[in-house]
A and B are shown apart, each in its own frame.
Chain A
Amino acid sequence: MTLFSKSFVRGLQRRVWTETKQHPQWKSEARAARHSAPRTAQSRWRWLVPLLAIGVTATAKGAALALPILLAWSATLMFFRAAQIQQLFFAHSESTPFSQFPVTEQFVFRHAARRLLRTSLWLGVDVLFFLAAFAVRIRSEVIAESLLFAAACAVGIWAAAIGGAITLVWIRPGFPFGIISGFALSFGWVGILIVSSAKLLTPASIYTGYESFRWCLPTGWVCMLIEPWLQGNHAPFIAPLALLAGLAVATVLAARSLRRAFNFWPPTVESENSSEPLPAEVPVTRVSEIEDAVTSRIFLSAQDWTRGGFLERTAARWLTLREHRVMNLALILPPGWTAGYPYACLFLIATPTVAWLAQSFGGVRPEWILVLGTLAGLGIITPLFGGAWTAFDLVRVAHRATAVCNFWPVSLREMRGCVLKLNLVRFLFALPCWLCAGASSTAFFAAPISQGIIIAGKSWLLVLALQLFFLAFKYSASTNDTSSGFLFVTLFGAICFSIVAAAGTAVFLSVAAGSFLHWLIAVAVVALLSWLLETAYRRAWRAQQFDLLAKSGGVPVA
């Protein structure tokens, strides 16, 4: 079942081109249109993941990391696929075009299912590439057998990831899987950078984390089956096999259930972004109430973000009148900064407790619980990646996406000033929590508390130094910098990013060396590069080097 006959389309293309060639004007227009079509080059970067993974596991020390990497990678992709299933089968944005054609629901469902399988095949190919390289390296004497084994394992990982994704959507259809996978990537990177730099995360501890988590994830069960062959370990065999059999049954049940729940007819009112059901009829507000709201000027201050709490009020004191106006756009919804503190404290208290319980009763050192819990707690009160600002939200315009702020008389310089001021206030307020978290973590590892406080303080400073870097990424999301041939931004960004990451690592390595000067230079380098990147990008933005319209993939219609 295909959407169109390829031979029919090819035949038509030939005839159209034959006729077009006879008109010089049409011919030049057709060529120009072909050359102006957007190119999708980003997907090529996907190959870096298996290459990077192979590079990491190439050393004798890194060989133990093969399975943890495979588990983390396939788990993240499983969540990505779960998000894709939600998008393909339930978001309506993918199936809406079919509503104008005489097609059955079954046709649309099968089309979505084929699309899921086709696009997810790359997961298996990437895993195969990685496993084949790894297996051939460690079992070079039996290359043919290694390749065969790698192919079988890749199929297993792929099937477990897709099955897991389908089952997850079946169990929790409305769960934000896309956000989880995004956070998994971001937090994973930052967490690994910080913790490994502080030498808390060794290959042995990573393997301990893998051993704890492999039971929780379907792809981990496959990993357990291939462990004896790949690592020479004696992993449990019957239990993961039984779990995989259960997953197969659950996948079939889930797929049937999803098929029954599938309804491709789009809602009559645009409600994709609204979590609340729309009223059946639009309530007609009394005209006198509206007149009162306008004449009393309430409507001008209806969304006052400074009412949120102490932190919001303190931050607002730093702003000028104009900055207040700009922040009305940047913080349409109450930011909940003050309200986040109780939750953050709860996380920071519960994390060592859970870790201690896991250690006491599980008999393992659960470093990962401590790392992820602490990062999640601190992430609530600290804008780790520049913070969330509605002004940078993307909306779709003319089939492309742009930031909300681009429609209003607000300059990037103004936005930047406000965001940096408010982020700095939030960082300052969060510092005590960082230091406490550092102290409690090192106490858990039976290390000197002062070391934990130093590491926490320096992590805080590093993330603060990277704020401009993250801010540049926020501008970049709403521009066509990388797709308009503006390649140097990408290259420049990638190079700076690598240097910043390396310098950040150096900051923490110098902690171990005990050299205050080294640490000072390293953090200065991080801050300088972060500033340089943001300044260069902002200058390019100001010089109108690129459009403020980006690709609109997944962005809702305005």
Chain B
Amino acid sequence: MSVTPVRSNNRVEPAPVAQSKPIIAIDHVSQRFQTKARRDHLALSNISLAVEEGAFVSILGPSGCGKSTLLYIVGGFVSPTEGTATMKGQPIKGPGPERGPVFQEFALFPWKTVLGNVMYGPRQQGVKMVEAEAKARALIEMVGLKGYENFYPKELSGGMKQRVALARTLAYHPEVLLMDEPFGALDAHTRTRLQNDLLNIWERDRKTVLFVTHSVEEAVFLSDKVVMMTRSPGRIRQVIDIDLPRPRRRDELLLDPRYQKYIVDIERMFDDSGDVELPS
């Protein structure tokens, strides 16, 4: 499960290209909503996208482009008006533990402690109490919250809450992580720390991640692939492979002209279309 990246000549061998079928396939998906004024609103228009197993894919676009809706469709929380979404060839009909969401709003269970929240998923799946607790404690330590096991969500800062939410989702071993602007509600400093930590955790076991964001830098820093979307109605504008070595370190990347070029190129593309939304 865990692949230790091999460093050679300060570069990492690219992860083996998945020859198998994509783990997630979105096929000609459109989504319409009825607005309050009874007007038909087209949120997503004819989206097709394949996500390879083990890839970190960001969906990048301006506010209101339907990028979160696309994630909810993959999560099974919303069913598309047209088109299909499949996981490993099976149509997605509803939420399931193989696709674990992490929301911008954290959505922790406030009546449960940190430990209780992280144990919730394993317990739901019938893991024995002792085992679930040991697993939860290890995860809490991994996300850097050792010592906070018995705190309630209300006692935690936003960054800590999001760490708990990540641990809670990782605890039930989803095959795909669905992250919906997870760091969008955090201040810049906290956000940077969580990006670094997420990358460290991800580089250990390389789960498939679908990551929604409106920050160009965040998308380039984290991803193997950036899916650029257009302003409403959301269409895929371009898919860009981010060919940067892993494990990535922020200080190294910030000095790396290739990293800078990706960011500048993507921002220019958004500029050209008037879809400008600079990272916060």
Is B a genuine binding partner of A?
no
Please give the residue numbers on chain B whose beta carbons come within 8 Å of chain A beta carbons, in ascending order: none
